[in-house]
Amino acid sequence: MSTDLTTGSGADRAATGAPGRDPEGPDARRAARREGWSRRLPLLPALIFTILVTQIPFAMTIWYSLRSWNLLRPDGETFVWFRNFVDIFMDSTFRGAALNSIIITLGCVFAALILGTLFAILLDREFLGRGVVRTLLITPFLIMPAATSMLWSVSLLNPSFGLLNWVIGLFGAGPIDFTSQMPLFSVIMALVWQWTPFMMLLILAGLQAQPKDVLEAAALDGAGWGKTFLFVTLPQLRRYIELSVLLGAIYVVNTFDQIYLMTAGGPGTASANLPFYIYQRAFLGFDVGQAAAMGVVTVIATIIIATFALRLIFRSFDTKD
Amino acid sequence: MSTVTQEVPAPPGRAPQISKAPHVRAGRRAQPARTLHGAAGVAAVVLIGVYCLAPFYWMLVSSLRRSGDIFDTTLLPSVFSVESYVKVFSGSSDFAHALVNSLIVAATTTALALVFAIFAAYAISRLNFRFKNVILAVIIATSMFPGISVVVPLLRLFSDIGWINTYQAMIVPSLSFAIPLAVYILTTFMKQLPFDLEEAAMMDGATKWQAFRKILLPLAAPGIFTTAILTFIQSWNEFIIALSMVNDPAVQTATVAISKFTGASEFQAPYGEQMAAGVIVTIPLVIMILIFQRRIVEGLTSGATK
């Protein structure tokens, strides 16, 4: 990336009067190094703070994960190496929670992305009151997840008076006790509803960011709407799609509120995802060691996924310039 | 923008302008395919509207029913009642206090995160140095950390230093998730801003700091505003940290308060109060977005369209 000399380098040269990348002697090299640090300086507060607040607790989590520490057992803390990790992988509930995390994230992100793209295409037109309509449609994303969880589990999915049960009743289907009969599906529905507007907003921004002359050129060349979308719009939307998938996935993986409030991970542990199960082990089972071990596994899995995601981000950053 | 050929019939109000500046608005207006026509288009928008807003409408309606009618499925309450709202603000709930707490935590988090993030995003988008991408990767990666995995150690740390039941116990962890998000959005945004103006200013003898403050900052204002809104919403909606770090109702935020509403009796779920509280926490945000909607849309699009 240090070879990425696009706009920034021109400015640096203008500011310093010297091509800092081509040092002629030790003095110049030292000056360049000092210059380099002065450029990093604006970054440091944010970097140090985020590392302090996330990396140190994470280091502590790793430490805890190697210790047997159950608040219910009086024998206190002992160092047990990797026993906690062995234990959690033997734990079928943990494996189930991991699977649920994957299902929820994939299901939610893809459904929301497809719906959001469709909505964005429909809204990318001129009509009266478009701004207000578009703004109102963002509402699901703004409502507190704690409140939407209540909204879904109570007024929409309740078997006796839920709106959704009333709607399927119109088609002759019997009432379904969604949160206990299909808890995972219920949670995903609530999440998709919440995340669709977010995807829509980003894709819409992408659609409106398209250079109009390219679209006009495509139209002049006789491309129909479908072809224009497939070969002109979609490639240009790539950055925005990647951004929405990435940001969506990061937050959906960490979903806790909906599960805590809609199904409490139930029935049994049928809809527990990793964050919820960790919370359960730590705050209800008081097994800090195992909870920490699960936290470590979650973070490692996240890092693996995030690496792919980051690669995508940087590729889009680089091709942009 | 040279296609007068594709000009759609201009709306009456716009016609006189064309002679003056034929090309200015042409780009936007010049695409017949992009105007919504006919019943199909209207129906599509209505459908989207129902999908996005019907649950919210149901929340609003439920909150306005009397507690005895809460299980009704009529589209309007048979009798309008503010009973649920009165209950929310009275007695043991003390929701007003929770709202103030949420506001303090979210506003402080947003302000601090923006200060950190603006400088970081500036450095990443405008300056070249080694390890730039590594640093950006570290910052972004921290935001992908599951919040739950740091809650347990932080809980212990905060109880050691006496921070349990304080605002900072919620603000500091929220910041560590707000900063990466803000850095990411702002970096994307600043990268798309044209560099020419700053360059010209520096040619004319402005320092980097002046170019940053007088040129970039005003240009980036819409992006900063968008970032501020997203950061604010994120911390306003934050649940798990507030749930774990605070057990004193006096410091409790609105999210936790909603989840802890209790009915009059053990067997009566407080649906009405929960719905009313949901409406109360949502409406200020919707109003804010409606007021600033142009700037938000601008913020999300201006970088790319110039």
The CATH number of whichever domain residue B136 belongs to comes to: 1.10.3720.10
Which residue in B149, B204, B271, B283 has the most chain A C-beta atoms within 10 A of its own C-beta, making it the best mutation to test that interface? B149
Alpha-carbon gap, residue B85 to B270, rounded angstroms: 12
Q: Is the pLDDT of residue B24 over 50?
A: no
The reply to whether B149 and B110 lie within a common domain is yes
What's the one-letter identity of residue A256? F
Which of A36-50, A53-67, A301-315 is the most confident on average? Answer: A53-67
pLDDT in tens, A70-94: 766 666 677 777 888 888 888 888 8
Q: What percentage of residues in chain A have a pLDDT greater than 70? A: 80
Mean pLDDT rounded to a whole number for chain A: 76
Q: Is the pLDDT of residue B16 over 70?
A: no
CB contact under 8 A, B34 and A260: no
> Which residue's structure tokens are 């003095």?
A27
* Mean pLDDT, range B135-140, rounded to an integer: 74
Alpha-carbon gap, residue B159 to B247, rounded angstroms: 12
Determine, yes or no, domain membership for B138.
yes
- pTM across the whole model: 0.75
The reply to whether B74 and B166 lie within a common domain is no
What's the one-letter identity of residue B111? A
The reply to whether B62 and B94 lie within a common domain is no
Confidence of residue B28 (pLDDT cuts 50, 70, 90): very low
Alpha-carbon gap, residue A228 to A234, rounded angstroms: 9
Closest CA–CA distance from residue B218 to any residue of chain A (Å) = 18
Determine, yes or no, domain membership for B26.
no
What pLDDT score does A310 carry? 65
Domain that holds residue B76: 36-81
pLDDT in tens, A10-34: 444 444 444 444 445 667 777 766 6
Determine, yes or no, domain membership for B31.
no
CB contact under 8 A, B6 and A219: yes
The reply to whether B142 and B205 lie within a common domain is yes
| Least-confidence region, from A84-88, B10-14, B80-84 | B10-14
The reply to whether B207 and B154 lie within a common domain is yes
pLDDT in tens, B256-285: 888 877 654 455 667 788 888 888 887 777
Overall domain count for chain B: 2
CB contact under 8 A, B149 and A320: no
The reply to whether B177 and B240 lie within a common domain is yes
Closest CA–CA distance from residue A140 to any residue of chain B (Å) = 6
The reply to whether B75 and B186 lie within a common domain is no
Q: Residue A78: beta bridge partners?
A: A68
Closest CA to A196 of B166, B48, B266, B258: B48
Q: Is B306 on the interface with A (CB under 8 A)?
A: no
CB contact under 8 A, A54 and B240: no
The reply to whether B61 and B120 lie within a common domain is no
What pLDDT score does A104 carry? 92
Determine, yes or no, domain membership for B30.
no
A15-27 burial code (b ≥16 CB/10 A, e <16): beeeebeeeeeee
Domain boundary (B81, B107, B141) is at: B81
Contact A108, A195 (CB under 8 A): yes
Q: ipTM strictly over 0.85?
A: no
State the CB neighbour count (10 A cutoff) for residue A45. Answer: 15
User: In this structure, what token pair is assigned to residue B149?
Assistant: 């995995």
Alpha-carbon gap, residue B188 to B167, rounded angstroms: 31
Determine, yes or no, domain membership for B9.
no
Torsions phi, psi for B250 (to 5 deg):
-70, -25
B301 vs B290 pLDDT, higher one: B290
- Tell me the chain B residues in contact with residue A278 when contact means C-beta distances shorter than 8 Å: 146, 148-149
User: In this structure, what token pair is assigned to residue A204?
Assistant: 């819409």
Helix, strand or coil, per DSSP, at residue A273: coil
* Mean pLDDT, range A147-166, rounded to an integer: 79
The reply to whether B41 and B160 lie within a common domain is no
What pLDDT score does A188 carry? 93
What pLDDT score does B95 carry? 85
Q: What percentage of residues in chain B have a pLDDT greater than 70? A: 78
Domain boundary (B81, B103, B118) is at: B81
The reply to whether B44 and B179 lie within a common domain is no
The reply to whether B70 and B93 lie within a common domain is no
The DSSP code sequence of B100-113 is: HHHHHHHHHHHHHH
Helix, strand or coil, per DSSP, at residue A79: strand
Which of A63-67, A155-159, A193-197, B188-192 is the most confident on average? Answer: A193-197
What pLDDT score does A32 carry? 67
B22 vs A124 pLDDT, higher one: A124
Alpha-carbon gap, residue B95 to B87, rounded angstroms: 9
Contact B105, B168 (CB under 8 A): no
A97: Cα separation from own chain's centroid? 18
Q: Which of A60, A144, A206 sits opposite B282 (nearest CB)?
A: A144
Which of A126-140, B118-132, B153-167, B179-193 is the most confident on average? Answer: B153-167
User: In this structure, what token pair is assigned to residue A248?
Assistant: 């969506």
Determine, yes or no, domain membership for B1.
no
Determine, yes or no, domain membership for B224.
yes
The reply to whether B97 and B77 lie within a common domain is no
What pLDDT score does A171 carry? 83
Determine, yes or no, domain membership for B20.
no
